[in-house]
Amino acid sequence: MSHIARTRAARAEARAHIEDTAARLFAERGYAGTTIGDIAAEAGLSKPMLYRHFDSKKELHLALLERHRDELAAAPIERLLHGEGDLPTRLAAMYDAWFGHVQTHPYTWRMMFRDTTGDPEVQDFHRELQRRQRATDVALLRAYVPGLPEAELEPLGEAIRSSLYGLALWWLDRPEKPREVLVAAMVRITRGLVATASG
Neighbours of 27 (CB within 10 A): 21
Better-scored residue on pLDDT, 119 or 177: 177
Report all structural domains of the chain as residue ranges with CATH numbers, in order of start: 1-55 (1.10.10.60), 62-198 (1.10.357.10)
pTM of the model: 0.73
Better-scored residue on pLDDT, 46 or 144: 46
The pLDDT of 82-100, averaged and rounded, is: 82
Closest alpha carbon to 129 in 152, 170, 161, 93: 161
Q: Say if residue 75's pLDDT is above 60.
A: no
Reduced to 3 states (helix: H, G, I; strand: E, B; else coil), residue 119 is coil
Percentage of the residues of the chain whose pLDDT score is greater than 70: 88
